[in-house]
Amino acid sequence: MASSELFDLTGKVVLLTGASKGMGRSMAEALADHGAHVMLSSRKLDQCERAADEINARCGDVRAHAFACNAGYKEQLRALVDATHDRLGPIDILVGNAGVNPFYGPMSAITDDAYDKIMSTNVKANHWLVQMVAPDMVQRGGGSIMITSSVGAFGPSVELGTYNISKVAVIGLVRNLAAELGPHQVRVNAICPGLIRTDFAEALWNNPEAEANARRAIPLRRLGEADDLKGLAVFLASGASSYITGQALTVCGGSHMWV
């Protein structure tokens, strides 16, 4: 009989931002299914609590916990990390999934406020989180960090230019952190989703023409679903990926296999 220890996360403490719905919710569910205790965080506490309750009912155990945090504010991230320490203990796994995109259009038209919000939440907030959480992992002799980037990092866009730039920066952040933290056995990787059918990406898929175009361009001939992120999250969190760090792993149905 094959052993399941390769993907066993029993007793591991996970901090996951952007966790109340969509990809974050699916990743949290999968991590809890494999034994981890997960602190779910997003801006709205009621949504986090609802997600945590549903995950706990699914597991038949209290493995999911909720805390409200706007990832764009350093003091709120500090409170989130402190609450995770108080409730669950040192953090073994960090999933930086919170992200924003308040602007669609050419970079020539973006306001300074929108530009700053995208770069601060998508990039700097993850830098802050790693500064706060990595010491736990270094002290314990290892850990896993994954940050959500996007296949948008691999090319330009006339509508999503600033968002894509932020996701390129996430990959750069991941690689530098992987080099810095590797000697401490802390692994750092980027998750690069393609077009996933979530509320966040609704403007890109929720019309017949856009969906038809996407299906023609994707070798698997379907849009991604939030649950398609489950396996990669568990893989990167577990010992199954113990020799993988500094990578940008795509979940895109094959749409970006040529880049």
Per residue in 56-67, pLDDT (tens digit) is: 999 999 999 999
Given this model, what pLDDT does residue 207 score? 75
Given this model, what pLDDT does residue 1 score? 40
Mean pLDDT of all residues in 235-247: 98
Given this model, what pLDDT does residue 144 score? 98
Structure confidence by residue, pLDDT tens digits, 127-145: 999 999 999 999 999 999 9
Residues 6 or more apart in contact with residue 14 via CB below 8 angstroms: 28, 31, 36, 37, 38, 39, 91, 92, 93, 94, 95, 237
Mean pLDDT of all residues in 39-54: 96
Region of residue 156 (left: phi > 0; alpha: psi -120 to 50; beta: else):
beta
Given this model, what pLDDT does residue 200 score? 62
Given this model, what pLDDT does residue 205 score? 56
Indicate whether 172 pLDDT > 60. yes
Number of Cβ atoms within 10 Å of the Cβ of 213: 13
Mean pLDDT of all residues in 13-42: 97
> What token pair was written down for 197?
């059918």
Given this model, what pLDDT does residue 222 score? 86
Structure confidence by residue, pLDDT tens digits, 194-228: 988 876 666 665 677 777 877 788 999 888 999 99
Of residues 194, 20, 157, the one with CA closest to residue 98: 20
Given this model, what pLDDT does residue 2 score? 47
Given this model, what pLDDT does residue 258 score? 82
| pLDDT band with cut points at 50, 70 and 90 for residue 93 | very high
Given this model, what pLDDT does residue 206 score? 65
Measured distance CA(145)–CA(236) in Å, rounded: 8
Given this model, what pLDDT does residue 36 score? 98
Mean pLDDT of all residues in 6-14: 97
Given this model, what pLDDT does residue 198 score? 74
Measured distance CA(259)–CA(244) in Å, rounded: 20
Of residues 150, 237, 143, the one with CA closest to residue 186: 143
Domain spans of the chain, in order of start: 10-251
Mean pLDDT of all residues in 72-100: 97
Indicate whether 3 pLDDT > 60. no
- Tell me yes or no: is domain 10-251 CATH 3.40.50.720: yes
As annotated, the active-site residues are 163
| pLDDT band with cut points at 50, 70 and 90 for residue 247 | very high
| pLDDT band with cut points at 50, 70 and 90 for residue 16 | very high
What are the counts of helices (DSSP H) followed by strands (DSSP E) for the chain? 9, 7
Given this model, what pLDDT does residue 83 score? 98
